[in-house]
Homo-oligomer: A and B are copies of this chain.
């Protein structure tokens, strides 16, 4: 490659890069309803709407086979894609899977991976409709495409939040990150002294959060049944801070997030002390929780308050006020996206 000019990819950051690469993207198809820049794309097919998302999982970047059972990996590869579809308030129906596999893998190892894939598909009622497997010289590569359906114009993007809307999140945050730190620590100990076998028996919750995340189909379904159409929605893959900024940027708003309202699991709180990182920092920047973050109109507050796995954690403000965290001590901090940067150092 003979570059006259050379700009490091890291200089743009992940989101800057995507913006840069897609700025010349033209739309030719009348059926393109929502393109690059949300959890999934929406296309019109003969007057009805279809939601599509495509994710790539790479060994050494997105997962470590040393502590990731293949069955869990198969489950997770499907789960994270379905999470993108649910984050549009759509229902996933089909997936395709393309794999790059090294010769080190046995057929039995792939069977294990597929067991996880099929388990996720069974749980969420999704069909595997395509499979492509080729050899890889460089680790295990997983590409999953998920397709879903949604009633016309009932999909929810990142860009519909309005001033005074309430910010809600499902489940709890930060536990997946702490589970990962735990696995990384045990791996290091094991590599230094293979006689010490990791004991993770007491940390099943945290480890489960990183190895086997559950897409929140239940939340998307409950919202629909309750007659609540969120004004915006995103799934928490990069951390609360980063996802909330996505909503604010796309919706052209600011926000106030209350530290004391952010839901954190007891196990996560305990482990964050052991690691001497703030539990709140894990929730804000950890990522991989695959919970749903969404905004609702104030009038829907009573309904949402009845659900015991949804927390109201703040509200949307005018853009001029910025995106802020209000701490327990009453201090205001600017929210910054410190989420997992794919091209960071």
Residues of A within 8 A of B (CB): 1, 3-12, 14, 17-18, 20-22, 24-29, 31-32, 34-36, 40-41, 43, 45-48, 50, 52-56, 58-62, 65, 70, 93-94, 96-101, 103, 105-112, 114, 118, 121-122, 125-139, 141, 143, 145, 147, 149, 342-343
Please, could you name 30 A-B residue pairs with CB atoms under 8 Å apart, sorted by A? A3-B108, A5-B108, A7-B107, A9-B103, A9-B110, A9-B135, A10-B103, A12-B107, A21-B110, A22-B128, A24-B118, A28-B121, A31-B94, A32-B127, A35-B128, A43-B129, A43-B147, A45-B48, A46-B48, A52-B145, A54-B98, A55-B98, A56-B98, A56-B99, A56-B134, A56-B141, A58-B141, A60-B137, A62-B134, A98-B143
User: Which chain B residues lie closer than 8 Å to A43 at the CB level?
Assistant: 93-94, 129, 147
* A5 to B107 Cα, complex, angstroms: 9
User: Which chain B residues lie closer than 8 Å to A34 at the CB level?
Assistant: 129
Most chain B CB atoms below 10 A, which of A58, A130, A147:
A130
User: Which chain B residues lie closer than 8 Å to A1 at the CB level?
Assistant: 65, 70, 106, 109, 112
Contact between A106 and B61 (Cβ–Cβ < 8 Å)?
Answer: no
* A28 to B118 Cα, complex, angstroms: 12
User: Which residue of chain B lies nearest to A141 when distances are taken between CB atoms in the complex?
Assistant: B141
Name the contact of A135 in the complex, choosing from B52, B103, B121, B342 (C-beta under 8 A).
Answer: B342
Contact between A29 and B127 (Cβ–Cβ < 8 Å)?
Answer: yes
Contact between B3 and A134 (Cβ–Cβ < 8 Å)?
Answer: no
Contact between B41 and A94 (Cβ–Cβ < 8 Å)?
Answer: yes
Most chain B CB atoms below 10 A, which of A98, A114, A125:
A98
Cβ distance A287 to chain B, nearest Cβ, rounded Å: 13
User: Which chain B residues lie closer than 8 Å to A11 at the CB level?
Assistant: 107
* A60 to B136 Cα, complex, angstroms: 8
Name the contact of A134 in the complex, choosing from B58, B103, B134 (C-beta under 8 A).
Answer: B58
Known: A114-B21, A134-B62. A96 touches B12 (CB 8 A): no
Contact between A29 and B93 (Cβ–Cβ < 8 Å)?
Answer: yes
Contact between B94 and A29 (Cβ–Cβ < 8 Å)?
Answer: yes
Contact between A56 and B125 (Cβ–Cβ < 8 Å)?
Answer: no
Known: A52-B130, A94-B41. A3 touches B58 (CB 8 A): no
User: Which residue of chain B lies nearest to A99 when distances are taken between CB atoms in the complex?
Assistant: B56
Name the contact of A106 in the complex, choosing from B9, B58, B141 (C-beta under 8 A).
Answer: B9
Known: A45-B45, A45-B149, A46-B149. A52 touches B129 (CB 8 A): yes
Contact between B18 and A131 (Cβ–Cβ < 8 Å)?
Answer: yes
Cβ distance A109 to chain B, nearest Cβ, rounded Å: 5
* A65 to B94 Cα, complex, angstroms: 34
Cβ distance A255 to chain B, nearest Cβ, rounded Å: 25
* A17 to B3 Cα, complex, angstroms: 41
Cβ distance A92 to chain B, nearest Cβ, rounded Å: 10
Contact between A130 and B54 (Cβ–Cβ < 8 Å)?
Answer: yes
User: Which chain B residues lie closer than 8 Å to A138 at the CB level?
Assistant: 58-60, 137-139
Contact between B56 and A143 (Cβ–Cβ < 8 Å)?
Answer: yes
Contact between B149 and A36 (Cβ–Cβ < 8 Å)?
Answer: no
Known: A133-B18, A134-B58. A35 touches B110 (CB 8 A): no
Name the contact of A342 in the complex, choosing from B6, B65, B130, B133 (C-beta under 8 A).
Answer: B133
Q: A29-B127, A32-B129, A56-B132 are in contact. List 15 more A-B contacts (CB 8 A).
A: A1-B106, A8-B107, A9-B103, A18-B131, A21-B111, A26-B127, A27-B127, A35-B128, A35-B130, A36-B130, A46-B48, A54-B96, A55-B98, A55-B132, A58-B141
